[in-house]
Structure 1
Amino acid sequence: MSSIPVSSLASAVPGGVQTPTDTAAARTRGLVKTYGRGPAEVRALDGVDLTIERARLTAIMGPSGSGKSTLMHCLAGLDSPTSGEVEVAGTGLGDLDDNALTRFRREHVGFVFQAFNLLPTLTARHNILLPLDLAGREPDWRRFDTLIEVLGLADRLSHRPSELSGGQQQRVAIARALLSSPDVVFADEPTGNLDSRSSAEVLDFLRRSVDELAQTVVMVTHEPTAAAYADRVLLLRDGRLAGTLERPTAEDVVTAIAGLDA
């Protein structure tokens, strides 16, 4: 991918990169999520208190069944907690009805999934623009052009997903997630279906979107090499926050995960 100067990316944000007054992009307090009842009850989240800081890449890791995907779904408003509070961009999600929550996600949250979630009948361009089209919002064409250039998609905009490689499809999904300048982008195993080269390209751009666009990214991953791109790694075990790592190496992550399994 081509290297775009910091100033070019920053200028694609209205007013340039700004320092927000509130450093928290999202918070949880006493977050509990259970499935089932009685003896069959599973406590996927067990009183999680955390703060996701703005303009940082936060990775969520833990053993299988630790609650990392459930935590992301509750943070993103895709699932409702059993109890506790979730706040995103200063809004308590528990205060919103279904329609208001749908609007909130559309206006404030971006998503990048392992399965890409592109519509097969639409071109790359139309897939990128789809959320704004559905919301009846005019795209920021300057930001669109910048994202397309940085992600190397200029010659792929007329292609349908079946005509794109996995890495190209994920870059389309990232452009779609970032175009609306969301408060938080949630990335659920974004490199899970990619080869090592495509994974590195996708992770590099997520990292640059934080450093150069002041984007907030929360990423669930099981890959230590992916987590090493993060500013902060949240470690979960049995539905509880078991520790954090700041600017870790892949080796730091491997050691920490091994400690959780011990």
Structure 2
Amino acid sequence: MPLATPPAPPIVRNAVTASGLWRAYGSGEAQVVALRDVSVAFASGAFTAIMGPSGSGKSTLMHCLAGLDTTDRGTVNIGDTVLTGLGDKALTKLRRDKIGFIFQQFNLLPTLTAEENILLPASIAGAKADPAWVNRVIATLDLSDRLSHKPTELSGGQQQRVACARALATRPDVVFADEPTGNLDTRSSAEVLGFLRKSVDDFGQTIVMVTHDPSAAAYADRVVFLADGQIVRDLHGPTADSVIDTMRDFENAVPLAGKAA
């Protein structure tokens, strides 16, 4: 009896790929090298956290991946599109169409309602967000009864949930989250992180998050650790304890030669 052909391994598509990234600030003795020949890929439909000590280059890496900062050398791809070297107009269009952002400071417009803030990226693009999709995101984030409220009428956790809904409203290829729970209390942090986890599991969203919090990183599928502008560890299936242990190990072992945000 012939042996059955084993199933082919699943094809992993990368939402973001970086190759040989270098980024330095300043010159001469004052120069700080933020990224040193960093190559890394982030799988589509996965939740990845980026961690490292203060000055490790984690925020610089995310900003380069998202097209918010330039690189000195190396390339960044968003899907099949080469981001590196794009002109301002093309880069703006790429960020608008393919990338969502969640920031620590929420960055909501105070004169707009929650609903208007959520729909703003589509409005700026001259497009109309899919109502069914937006309603699903709003319901998942439990914002249905807060849509007419302005940011000053919302709690910090509610404001960040509005920011999450805004980031996902256009169904971007990838959402970059920069310390999204940094200004939240424990309960609000858990709500936001739970939604990010759910957006990956239920919606197939790709999330890349910079954080300093081991408990936040434990929501991710994978944690990439940086020190001195280089990737020093790649941890899959993280727990808060395993993240703490990893941070302790390499902080003791890797001397930092320079500081970068």
Same fold (TM over 0.5): yes
Instruction: Please give the per-residue CA displacement for 1:177-223, whole angstroms capped at 9, x wherever unaligned.
Output: 00101000000000000000000000000000000000000000000
Greater CA drift, 21-30 or 232-241: 21-30
Distance 1:21 1:127 in 2: 36
Kindly indicate whether residue 97 of structure 2 is the aligned counterpart of residue 100 of structure 1.
no
- Tell me which of 134, 148, 164 is aligned to 1:144: 134
Distance 1:72 1:95 in 2: 17
SS state at 1:51 partner: strand
SS state at 2:148 partner: coil
Count of aligned residue pairs for this structure pair: 243
Distance 1:22 1:227 in 2: 22
- Tell me which of 50, 55, 66 is aligned to 1:60: 50
Match of 1:7 in 2: none
Instruction: Please give the per-residue CA displacement for 1:114-166, whole angstroms capped at 9, x wherever unaligned.
Output: 00000000000000000100000011000111111110101100000000000
Change (3 A) 1:21 1:180: farther
The aligned amino acid for 2:215 is T
Distance 1:245 1:220 in 2: 15
8 A Cα contact 1:31 1:49, kept in partner: yes
Match of 1:204 in 2: 194
Instruction: Please give the per-residue CA displacement for 1:22-46, whole angstroms capped at 9, x wherever unaligned.
Output: 6101111110000011111110000
Distance 1:123 1:142 in 2: 19
Distance 1:22 1:93 in 2: 20
Match of 2:63 in 1: 73
**Larger Rg: 1 or 2?**
2
Kindly indicate whether residue 55 of structure 2 is the aligned counterpart of residue 46 of structure 1.
no
- Tell me which of 104, 110, 131 is aligned to 1:114: 104
The aligned amino acid for 2:58 is K
- Tell me which of 64, 70, 80 is aligned to 1:90: 80
For normalisation by structure 2, the TM-score amounts to 0.92
Distance 1:155 1:21 in 2: 41
8 A Cα contact 1:62 1:260, kept in partner: no
Instruction: Please give the per-residue CA displacement for 1:10-60, whole angstroms capped at 9, x wherever unaligned.
Output: xxxxxxxxxx96610111111000001111111000000101011000000
Cα deviation, residue 96, structure 1: 1.2
- Note the residue ranges of structure 2 that are not aligned, 5 or more in a row: 1-9, 253-261
Cα deviation, residue 95, structure 1: 3.6
SS state at 1:94 partner: coil
Q: State the Cα RMSD in Å.
A: 1.0
Distance 1:214 1:33 in 2: 31
For normalisation by structure 1, the TM-score amounts to 0.91
Kindly indicate whether residue 257 of structure 2 is the aligned counterpart of residue 257 of structure 1.
no
Match of 1:134 in 2: 124
- Tell me which of 168, 177, 185 is aligned to 1:187: 177
Distance 1:63 1:140 in 2: 40
The aligned amino acid for 1:38 is G
Cα deviation, residue 248, structure 1: 1.0
The aligned amino acid for 2:178 is D
SS state at 1:48 partner: strand
Distance 1:208 1:94 in 2: 31
Greater CA drift, 85-94 or 246-255: 85-94
Match of 1:157 in 2: 147
Distance 1:117 1:60 in 2: 21
Distance 2:124 2:200 in 1: 26
SS state at 2:193 partner: helix
SS state at 1:74 partner: helix
Match of 1:239 in 2: 229
The aligned amino acid for 2:197 is R
8 A Cα contact 1:63 1:260, kept in partner: no
Cα deviation, residue 224, structure 1: 0.2
Q: Post-superposition, which runs of at least 4 consecutive aligned residues in structure 1 deviate over 3 A?
A: none
